[in-house]
Structure 1
Amino acid sequence: MGITRRTLISTAALAATTAGLATPAEAGGRKTRPVIFIHGSAGSAMQFRTQAKRLASNGYPIDTIEAHEYDSPNIATILAAVYAGLDDRITRLLAATGADRVDLIAHSLGTFVTQGYLTSSPERAARVAHYVNLDGRPAAALPAGVPTLAIWGEGDPARAVTGATNVYFPDQSHTQTVSSVESFREIYRFLQGREPRTDRVVAQRTAYISGRAVLFPSNAGVTGAKLEVYPVSPRTGRRLGRKPAHIRPIGADGTFTRVPLQPHARYEFALIRDGQATHHFYFEPFRRSDSFVRLLTSRPGEGIGALVDTSDRHTALTFQRQKEWWGDQGDHLWINGTNILNSANAPRAKRVIGVFAFDDGSDGVTDLTAPIPEIFAVTFMTGMDVFIPAAQRRLGTVPIVVKSRGGGFTHLPVPNWRSSTHRVSIEIDDH
């Protein structure tokens, strides 16, 4: 997308990077190292879902690709614990795989965390073969000498990690640099020393889905919950049966174990907690196994969810996409036939990845002339005052159509659950 500028900072840096690449046997695809993704502010494993599946489509075992998640709003007070947890994760992965080292990939605030980790001790740096710095912190030298690829999106073109391979995508936004196919190609070449066999998410006969239910943005695990998985109609979004196809308990850290799904079908993930609204999550077809699914939620009266007005009369929807919504430059999101994105509520400069659509004030009126201020004030988020009639006697359907800039149309209808007793989140693919 757009112009790519690739900069090799110095001959010495090139030599250092080449020395750190995989051995010829690994470059031939016979070996891979474990990959650990470290997210940015208010992030989670979700930002790396697509890239993990692209890596798996090129032969990486999915159980050797992990995310190191942490409470980003409190990083200043927990940094030592985050480092210790990363130590344990690396030790476990090296023992399980027999690999000599791991590869680290970090985004935004995660680059601050990772650069600090690498420079904190020679022993830590010695266990890392490669480091990928995604649109984050510049540096005056390679972090602890570890071979580094730095990918930069829109913004100051002078940003760089000195000594690294610096690649620039000026037409990509902050989160898009994590999920884009262009970034994937650069990452794969850097880690493996060759072109990927494919840059697509290759479908499997059965997709095994696992992940965590977490409180946003702390990434603390949801407790006292269970997960119900229902096949849904691609035409209406409604359940195809009364009973769930799968039920999984939610563990103490929010984890749920593997669920076998058909790769081209659509499903509802219903998070059930006693005394709380059922939280329904809808995804596009998974295509292949995915261990990075995150069900982002909150406790009643806490977080951004507390800003959403609810009633028996309207449905409230939350949309996520790990590629920014540009309401002023080609992205469209139609709900019941109305495009809710515009230059006021989703300008490119806002870098929106989360969209809240609900009847602000519960007055039955849609007003898209300005965003809902208290949600628009949250980083990466926007809110729209959209009246979406809810089910009264029988559950109906909310038609949802997405047109991504430079792409085609996606239809993702969902049921019109009452917002008084139900929450609805929809994950839109970033590719």
Structure 2
Amino acid sequence: MLHRRLLLVLAATGLVLAGCATTPTAEQHPPIVFVHGNGDSASIWQSTVWRFESNGWPRERLHAIDLPYPLARDDDGKAQPGRTSTAEHMAYLKAEVEKVLQATGARQVVLMGNSRGGNAIRNYIQNGDGAARVSHAILGGTPNHGVWAIKGFREANEFSGTGPFLTRLNAPKNAAGDEVSGPVKWLTLRSDNNDKFAQPDGVWIGAKGTPTNVTFEGPALKGATNTVLPRVDHRETSFSPAAFEATYRFITGKSAQARTIQPETPVVLNGKITGLGLRPTDPASGNYSNNLPLPGAQLAVYATDAATGARLGNAVHSRTVGADGLWGPFTAQPGMQYEFVVSAPGYATTHIYRSPFPRSSNIIHLRADRPAEADKSAKSSTTLTRPRGYFDATRDKMSFDGKALPGVPPAGAGVSSSKINLSQDDSRPIAAEFNGEKITGRTWPMADGHLVVLELTY
């Protein structure tokens, strides 16, 4: 049966950030509020913020929000622990916009959302009195016509194209049939055919061969400027260089001068340490993500050798975080790779290896992790993750421990992490490369409660 076959696999998804020396007027550089997607956090906007800064946007006018519970409810109208409704999501965004307007003295903001974040933006502008407070709305990969559009199937979910939430948002606003509310200027960014949540076939939602009744054009909206970015994946509709250039041009009316992220010194980093919730109804079913601080978590930061992942001496920064979860500030050396070691009761000791940071950021969020049940028999477990995009074997040049990425299909961009479990006890380097970005970490023993993450920046 169709209803049994379709399984939704949603991928994603503080006032922050880093800046520049100029002080332009609000008209030149209006405040931008970035809204992450399902299951994500503010940290996913890190490279996008750097690109705006590299083109003169002041740090105090760039704000990425953290929805405390970033996952959508299964049924939007029914309370579900650890998840948010569309109404709660909109209320949170509305409150954050008001904070930004008050802090900056601006009359309006620009809103930029990825995936589910676009749902909150549309809901706020249309139903939350946001039209007067927003000048531009940019939606990257937002499933504006649903991830599926099947009568009778999970229509209470906010991602149903035939459900009440999207039906109301997409109702014609004028005689021309526009789906967007004025006088806001609207831009949608979508892939030509590589967005896993805008597919006519249900391959990426667990139902290969079953029509979703959604097309590649699903994120487009009548009445908006609709831009196609060839071969980008679901997340790259917001976080890729091409998405930045289209967004910058839409807001300013001109092309960005700096096409690459410009380095700065000093590089000062900060962010939150967050954890995972256990599903209350069935703890054995696993964890769910949240963006709540994890007070009492401990962090140690080590400079590492780029070739071997070995530590270059003692910790260069350490902290036990308080109620706000903040682990910094920490001044990083330009060009240096780092190992971030997060430990907290009830979690594995999580070793997160990162490539060098070119600029400062206050949204370097770190998540304590727990091992999956299936991985506990391994001697060591290392995950390669790409938060701002997916892996596409036909498009990307990549390797993990010297070979193809386990779990990544031969075509299509639908997987954003890959895991290697080893059966050897020895500690050794483990490296990954993705389109020129290289990270080398070291394996750590699962028996002693360690997990390893190689986290890509780009």
TM-score by length of 1: 0.76
Report the CA distance shift for 1:238/1:143 in structure 2 as closer, same or farther (over 3 A): farther
More helix, by proportion? 1
Report the CA distance shift for 1:253/1:352 in structure 2 as closer, same or farther (over 3 A): farther
- Quote the offset at 1:330 in angstroms: 4.1
Question: In structure 1, what is the equivalent of residue 191 of structure 2?
Answer: 153
**For the Cα contact (< 8 Å) 1:27–1:193, is it kept in 2?**
no
Counterpart amino acid of residue 180 in structure 2? L
**For the Cα contact (< 8 Å) 2:38–2:72, is it kept in 1?**
no
Report the CA distance shift for 1:103/1:416 in structure 2 as closer, same or farther (over 3 A): same
- Quote the offset at 1:218 in angstroms: 2.3
**For the Cα contact (< 8 Å) 2:135–2:184, is it kept in 1?**
yes
- Quote the offset at 1:126 in angstroms: 1.1
Trace 1:18-167 onto structure 2 (pairs within 5 A). 31-70=28-67, 71-75=69-73, 76=76, 77=79, 78=84, 79-122=86-129, 124-138=130-144, 139=170, 140-155=178-193, 156-159=215-218, 160-167=220-227
Counterpart amino acid of residue 296 in structure 2? G
Counterpart amino acid of residue 285 in structure 1? P
Q: Does 1:269 align with 2:340?
A: yes
Counterpart amino acid of residue 294 in structure 2? V
Question: In structure 1, what is the equivalent of residue 457 of structure 2?
Answer: 429
- Residue aligned with 1:349, SS: coil
Specify every segment of 5 or more residues in structure 1 that has no aligned partner in the other structure, as ranges.
1-25, 365-388
Report the CA distance shift for 1:158/1:415 in structure 2 as closer, same or farther (over 3 A): closer
Trace 1:390-409 onto structure 2 (pairs within 5 A). 390-391=425-426, 396-404=427-435, 408=436
Specify every segment of 5 or more residues in structure 2 that has no aligned partner in the other structure, as ranges.
1-22, 145-169, 171-177, 194-214, 277-288
Report the CA distance shift for 1:249/1:143 in structure 2 as closer, same or farther (over 3 A): farther
- Residue aligned with 1:141, SS: coil
How many equivalent residue pairs? 358
**For the Cα contact (< 8 Å) 1:397–1:413, is it kept in 2?**
no
Q: 1:211-238 deviations in whole A, cap 9, x for unaligned?
A: 1222352223223212221111112112
- Quote the offset at 1:105 in angstroms: 0.6
- Residue aligned with 1:105, SS: strand
Counterpart amino acid of residue 290 in structure 2? S
- Quote the offset at 1:167 in angstroms: 0.4
Provide the C-alpha distance between the structure 1 equivalents of 2:355 and 2:119, rounded to a whole number of angstroms: 32
- Quote the offset at 1:174 in angstroms: 0.7
- Of 160-169 and 252-261, more deviation after overlay is shown by 252-261
Q: CA RMSD in A?
A: 2.5
- Quote the offset at 1:188 in angstroms: 0.7
- Residue aligned with 2:417, SS: strand
- Quote the offset at 1:130 in angstroms: 0.9
- Of 51-60 and 76-85, more deviation after overlay is shown by 76-85
More strand, by proportion? 1
**For the Cα contact (< 8 Å) 1:325–1:331, is it kept in 2?**
no
Provide the C-alpha distance between the structure 1 equivalents of 2:372 and 2:428, rounded to a whole number of angstroms: 25
Q: Does 1:325 align with 2:391?
A: yes
**For the Cα contact (< 8 Å) 2:188–2:224, is it kept in 1?**
yes
Q: 1:154-213 deviations in whole A, cap 9, x for unaligned?
A: 333434211111100231111121211111101111122222120211111211111122
- Quote the offset at 1:262 in angstroms: 1.6
Report the CA distance shift for 1:150/1:86 in structure 2 as closer, same or farther (over 3 A): same
Counterpart amino acid of residue 452 in structure 2? V
Of 217, 237, 242, which residue of structure 2 is paired with 1:177?
237
Counterpart amino acid of residue 340 in structure 1? L
Provide the C-alpha distance between the structure 2 equivalents of 1:309 and 1:120, rounded to a whole number of angstroms: 45
- Quote the offset at 1:286 in angstroms: 0.7
- Residue aligned with 1:126, SS: helix
Q: 1:292-328 deviations in whole A, cap 9, x for unaligned?
A: 2221334x5xxxx3335235x7221111112211135
**For the Cα contact (< 8 Å) 1:319–1:355, is it kept in 2?**
yes
Q: Does 1:254 align with 2:317?
A: no
Question: In structure 2, what is the equivalent of residue 294 of structure 1?
Answer: 365
- Residue aligned with 2:270, SS: strand
Counterpart amino acid of residue 417 in structure 2? G
Report the CA distance shift for 1:237/1:30 in structure 2 as closer, same or farther (over 3 A): farther
Of 350, 353, 372, which residue of structure 2 is paired with 1:306?
372
- Of 73-82 and 188-197, more deviation after overlay is shown by 73-82
Trace 1:280-429 onto structure 2 (pairs within 5 A). 280-298=351-369, 300=370, 305-310=371-376, 314-321=379-386, 322-335=388-401, 337-341=402-406, 345-349=408-412, 351-359=414-422, 364=423, 389-391=424-426, 396-404=427-435, 408=436, 410-420=437-447, 421-429=449-457
- Quote the offset at 1:429 in angstroms: 2.6
- Residue aligned with 2:307, SS: coil
Provide the C-alpha distance between the structure 1 equivalents of 2:325 and 2:192, rounded to a whole number of angstroms: 35
- Residue aligned with 1:356, SS: strand
Runs of 4+ residues deviating >6 angstroms: 26-30
- Quote the offset at 1:27 in angstroms: 9.6
- Quote the offset at 1:291 in angstroms: 2.1
Report the CA distance shift for 1:33/1:348 in structure 2 as closer, same or farther (over 3 A): farther
**For the Cα contact (< 8 Å) 2:384–2:432, is it kept in 1?**
no
Question: Alignment identity in percent?
Answer: 26
Counterpart amino acid of residue 442 in structure 2? P
Report the CA distance shift for 1:308/1:83 in structure 2 as closer, same or farther (over 3 A): same
Report the CA distance shift for 1:219/1:401 in structure 2 as closer, same or farther (over 3 A): same
- Quote the offset at 1:44 in angstroms: 1.9
Provide the C-alpha distance between the structure 2 equivalents of 1:294 and 1:355, rounded to a whole number of angstroms: 20
- Residue aligned with 1:317, SS: strand
Q: 1:362-413 deviations in whole A, cap 9, x for unaligned?
A: xx3xxxxxxxxxxxxxxxxxxxxxxxx343xxxx432413143xxx4x4322
**For the Cα contact (< 8 Å) 1:47–1:175, is it kept in 2?**
no
Provide the C-alpha distance between the structure 1 equivalents of 2:243 and 2:331, rounded to a whole number of angstroms: 29
The structure whose RCO (Cα within 8 Å, separation 6+) is larger is 1
